Structure 1
Amino acid sequence: MLSIGEFSKICKVSTKTLRYYDEIGLIHPEDINPENGYRYYSIRQLRKMLLINRLKSYHFSLEEIKNILDVEEDQAEEKLGSALHRKRKEVQEKINAYEYTLTQLNHDILRAEKGKPMMSWLDDIEVVLSETQPINILYIRQMMSSDDYTLGYEKYFSRLYERIAVDKLTLLGTPMTIYHSPEYNPAGNDTEFAIPIEETVKGTRDLPGGLCAKSVLKGPYAELTSVYAKLREWVENEGYELAQSPYEVYVTDHLHAAVSEDIVTEVYFPIKKKERGAYHAKQ
């Protein structure tokens, strides 16, 4: 048996932390002396403590680690393997995000060294006029908080795809999101998830066609705000105004893109010409 001090020294974990791990049920002392309260750990618990340390180094939370370890022995390796695969994916996504950030930093530094304004990259975003056709969409409309978006997209699009499969509906296009709120509110935004289909059934509606200002983003979704800013600037400068809610069409998504730079998103601003008097009043 090892005293808590010796166990702490070998595993490089403070005795205070070991006591906390005992409180939360992560790893208990093998024995506690009832007379003096001294805690003792067995030699075999060294492996468990080292596994906990290794999982912490992989950025698993204590709750996640407890969940991984709290399993029948015959299922332990399978559960651990699944958890490691999920964590590897999370880490890789973070690495990709940091690599993209580094690329942006290098571009901004290069612009600064050439004497160009940092925001001059907005000029590289192309805007075109596009005449869209009416489409029939299967949709779910929800109030979404800022915290809901990441999981919400997959959740609601999965529901729509499930409905299409169960009812044997005919898919006509890729997923899209329509943003109806007049302003951004972290507490909740009126968001419509939709997929174009052929059949007119319950839960479908017509998305009108018409003139749109369109831009295509090739890169991570974090850059969409820049595309929106450029589109809104273009709309104003060209004498147009928004006619309907803007929407995004996901030509590819993060699940099917090897790297974030491969994600392709089309952004549409339905527009109409401003009345001539109103337009010139702002010039």
Structure 2
Amino acid sequence: MLSIGEFSKICEVSTKTLRYYDEIGLINPDEINPENGYRYYSIRQLKKMLFINRLKSYHFSLEEIKAVLEWEEDLSEEMLSAALHRKRREIEEKLNAFEYTIQQMSNDILNLEKGTPIMSYLDMIEVQLVETQPMNILYMRQMMSSDDYAQGYGKYFSKLYKKIATEKLTLFGTPMTIYHSPEYNPAGNDTEFAIPIEETVKGTRDLPGGLCAKSVLKGLYSELTSVYAKLREWVEDEGYELVNSPYEVYVTNPNQATVPENVVTEVYFPVKKK
């Protein structure tokens, strides 16, 4: 048996952390002396602790590690491989985002060194006045909190695509999101997920066409706020006013884009002359 200090030293995990892992049921001492409360770990637990450390180094959360350990008895190479594949995709997405951020920062630094204002990129965002056609959309409308959005898009679009496949409906366009809330509220925003289809069935509605201020973003969704700001400025400067909820059309699937610049999103502001 190893004392908690010896176990801590071999695995390079503090005794405080080991006590916390015991509290949350991640790894418990093999034995606790009832008289003095001293904790002891078995030699076989070294392998388990090193496995936990390895998953932590791969940026698994403690909750994720605990879940993996809970299926330890049934843990097959396929299950563990699938978990590692998922985590690797997450890390790759973060790396792409960091690379994109570094590129933006480098551009900003270069512009500043040339005497160009850091926010001058807003002037590069183009706005067009377009006439859109009416669409028949299959939709789901939900109140979405800021925490819901990360998983919400995939979740609700998947449900819509499943209905399209099950009922053999005809796609007429790419997914879109319509934002109905008059203001941003972290607790909940009225959000409509939609896909244009040909058939009129239960769960569809007409999205009217009309005059729209349109802009296109090529890059991460985090940049959409800049596009919205530019569109709102353009609407005001050109003497128009909003007549309906703005919406986004996802021209490309972000999961299939190899670099952020390949993600194309169209933003539409339905407008009319004041």
TM-score (norm 2): 0.95
Where do residues 1-283 of structure 1 align in structure 2 (5 Å cutoff)? 1-274=1-274
CA RMSD of aligned residues (A): 1.5
CA deviation after TM superposition for structure 1 residue 115, in Å = 0.7
Q: Percent identity?
A: 79
Distance (whole Å) between structure 2 residues aligned to residue 33 and residue 140 of structure 1 = 58
Q: 1:15-62: per-residue Cα shift (whole Å, max 9, x none)?
A: 232222223221222233444443322222211111111211222222
- Where 2:168 maps in the other structure, the secondary structure is coil
CA deviation after TM superposition for structure 1 residue 211, in Å = 1.2
CA deviation after TM superposition for structure 1 residue 74, in Å = 4.5
Q: 1:58-98: per-residue Cα shift (whole Å, max 9, x none)?
A: 22222211111122434243332222111111111111111
- Where 1:255 maps in the other structure, the secondary structure is helix
Larger Rg, first or second structure (1 or 2):
1
Q: Is the 8 A contact 1:68 1:76 kept in 2?
A: no
Distance (whole Å) between structure 2 residues aligned to residue 146 and residue 263 of structure 1 = 21
Deviates more, 1:198-207 or 1:65-74: 65-74
- Where 2:53 maps in the other structure, the secondary structure is helix
CA deviation after TM superposition for structure 1 residue 103, in Å = 0.8
- Where 2:100 maps in the other structure, the secondary structure is helix
**Runs of 4 or more consecutive aligned structure 1 residues displaced over 6 Å after TM superposition:** none
Distance (whole Å) between structure 2 residues aligned to residue 174 and residue 14 of structure 1 = 51
Per the alignment, do residues 239 and 58 of structure 1 end up closer, same or farther by CA in structure 2, a change over 3 Å counting?
same
Q: Which residue in the other structure is 1:281 paired with?
A: none
CA deviation after TM superposition for structure 1 residue 272, in Å = 1.0
Distance (whole Å) between structure 2 residues aligned to residue 137 and residue 107 of structure 1 = 40
Q: 1:171-228: per-residue Cα shift (whole Å, max 9, x none)?
A: 1100011111111121221111111111111111111111111111100100111111
Q: Is the 8 A contact 1:179 1:245 kept in 2?
A: yes
Amino acid at match of 2:45: Q
Distance (whole Å) between structure 2 residues aligned to residue 105 and residue 71 of structure 1 = 43
Distance (whole Å) between structure 2 residues aligned to residue 145 and residue 91 of structure 1 = 24
- Where 2:266 maps in the other structure, the secondary structure is strand
What 5-or-longer segments of structure 2 have no aligned partner?
none
CA deviation after TM superposition for structure 1 residue 263, in Å = 0.5
Amino acid at match of 1:188: G
Amino acid at match of 1:53: N
Distance (whole Å) between structure 2 residues aligned to residue 178 and residue 259 of structure 1 = 25
Q: Is the 8 A contact 1:248 1:266 kept in 2?
A: yes
Distance (whole Å) between structure 1 residues aligned to residue 134 and residue 261 of structure 2 = 30
CA deviation after TM superposition for structure 1 residue 120, in Å = 0.7
Distance (whole Å) between structure 2 residues aligned to residue 185 and residue 36 of structure 1 = 53
Per the alignment, do residues 262 and 35 of structure 1 end up closer, same or farther by CA in structure 2, a change over 3 Å counting?
same
- Where 1:6 maps in the other structure, the secondary structure is helix
- Where 2:254 maps in the other structure, the secondary structure is coil
Q: Is the 8 A contact 1:139 1:194 kept in 2?
A: yes
Distance (whole Å) between structure 1 residues aligned to residue 63 and residue 244 of structure 2 = 45
Q: 1:104-140: per-residue Cα shift (whole Å, max 9, x none)?
A: 1111111111111111111111111111111111111
What 5-or-longer segments of structure 1 have no aligned partner?
275-283
Amino acid at match of 2:141: R
Distance (whole Å) between structure 1 residues aligned to residue 34 and residue 223 of structure 2 = 61
Size of the aligned set, in residue pairs, is 274
Q: Is the 8 A contact 1:69 1:76 kept in 2?
A: no
Amino acid at match of 2:239: G
